[in-house]
Amino acid sequence: MATILLENATLIDGTGADPKRGVSVLVEDGRIQSIFTDKSKRPKADKVIDLSGMTLMPGLTDAHVHLGALGVNSPRTQSPEDNLTSYVLDVVENIETALQEGFTTVRDAGGLDPAFAFAVESGHIKGPRILPSGSFISQTGGHADFRDRFDDRPPRVVPGILAGPVLCDGPDAVRAAAREQLRKGASQVKLMGSGGVVSPNDPLEGTQFTVDEMLAAVHEARAVGTYVMAHCHTSPAVNNALDAGIRSIEHGSILDEATAKRIVKEKAFMVPTIHIIEMLGANSTAHGLSHYSLHKLDKVRSQLPLSVALAAKTGVSLGSGSDFLGKKQSKRGLELVSKATVLGEMAAIVSATGTNAHLFNMEDRIGVVKEGRDADLIAVAGDPLSNIGVLVDAANVKLVVKSGTIVKNTL
């Protein structure tokens, strides 16, 4: 592999440390070989890139993507009008856009067949490293049961292409569903633990799956060295998930203090998804939300920033997730902008780099710019600490290096 020397950058390293000016980074064999400011130590390299005026950062990560969930309501509803070839091309476009925007690792929170992650790994798709969950696992009538009341056909699944939801009830069925997703290549298992905004028939406050059902999935995930992530908007749902040993709490939108403390005690993570809620609120008609969904959205929208602030104050490890759905997913960095309005720019950046890396169990490889780590690096025009909005537009992300290979360079 060619060695790359990135010179004269301002470094934000993903740990929360103050930025450093005049930093150079040598990339060798896919890793960060050395980081230095002393020019007299300047090593030889095959390629030298001057990053004067640019900010060098770890590749961004997104812990809650739905690259394959193209309909707001369901991966199933897209099938009658849209053929599977178009579906695949739309998914590939979502994947490619994420990398162009500087995201080098993403965790899919359901709806993407792991085959797409394999296609990235093998070089067929130019995208971020994807940690897929495969299908959503939901109880009947739960958040991933998007059928209307008069439809009892099972959701559509096309192995290798379309990972529609799996609806199951009882610990053994949940166990089998978790095993099935892991067999198909899921990095972790995704469960629906509470009602949700866009689902047609479930109250937001409803808890979904019993602790025993979730425990079965947690057992299976742990048996192969991984974990479960659960969609939970409210405190009772979060507590059920924690009772079952679930490690990654998605949303946590309506959180009380005792529950926040418990997340810390159990060493779990929370991934609030702030921007999507604002966006759905601002464009509810465009997204075709029903009155019922709008009512649920209002509850989440009023509480979510308060819950994020409470979680941060309590010491909860907060990951960063966009929860973007649909076709033409772009401007993923908007989640960092929303997070920054609650917690500040640096906290938003750390959540989307260092903290997410811990959440993914990849802290030894990615998330911070440190000698020996994978060379996942981006260079951005401007200073995200004075204007975090620079991370929103792909045009500002001038350089993307993934595992030591330059995958974008518009310098």
**Residues at the contact surface with Zn ion, assessed by CB under 5 A:** 109, 323
CA pair distance 72, 283, nearest whole angstrom:
12
Nearest to 207 by CA among 241, 250, 158, 161: 241
Name the minimum Å distance from CB 299 to Zn ion: 17
Q: Closer to Zn ion by CB, 198 or 392: give it.
A: 198
3-state secondary structure (DSSP) of residue 25: strand
Nearer to Zn ion, 276 or 310 (CB): 276
Contact 96, 109 (CB under 8 A): no
Query: Measuring CA to CA, how many Å separate 273 from each of 37, 224, 261?
Result: 37, 28, 20
Cross-strand bridge partners of residue 154: none
Residue 321 or 404 having the CB closest to Zn ion: 321
CB of 356 to Zn ion, least distance (A): 15
Residue with smaller CB distance to Zn ion, 54 or 67: 67
Nearest distance in Å: CB 95, Zn ion? 17
Looking at the Cβ atoms of 45 and 63, the one nearer to Zn ion is 63
Q: Which amino acid is at 325?
A: L
What is the spatial distance between Cα 193 and Cα 137, in angstroms, rounded to a whole number? 10
Q: How far apart are CA 92 and CA 127, in angstroms?
A: 8
Kindly state the smallest distance separating residue 65's Cβ from Zn ion, in Å.
8
Amino acid 175 reads R
- Give min distance, CB of 177 to Zn ion, in A: 18
On whether the CB atoms of residues 136 and 166 are closer than 8 A, the answer is yes
- Least Å from the CB of residue 69 to Zn ion: 8
Q: For Zn ion, give the closer residue by CB, 9 or 228.
A: 228
402, 129 in Cβ contact below 8 A?
yes
Our CA angle for 388, 391, 395, nearest 5°, is 135
User: What's the min distance (Å) between Cβ of 66 and Zn ion?
Assistant: 6
Shorter beta-carbon distance to Zn ion: residue 24 or 194: 194
Shortest CB 303 distance to Zn ion, Å: 17
Q: Which is nearer to Zn ion, 109 or 346 (CB)?
A: 109
Nearer to Zn ion, 231 or 402 (CB): 231
User: Cα(74)–Cα(37) distance, rounded to whole angstroms?
Assistant: 51
Long-range Cβ contacts of 306-311 (<8 Å, 24+ apart): 307/252, 307/253, 307/254, 307/255, 307/272, 308/272, 308/274, 308/339, 308/342, 308/343, 309/342, 309/343, 310/255, 310/257, 310/260, 311/252, 311/255, 311/260, 311/263, 311/270, 311/272
Nearest approach, Cβ of residue 144 and Zn ion (Å): 10
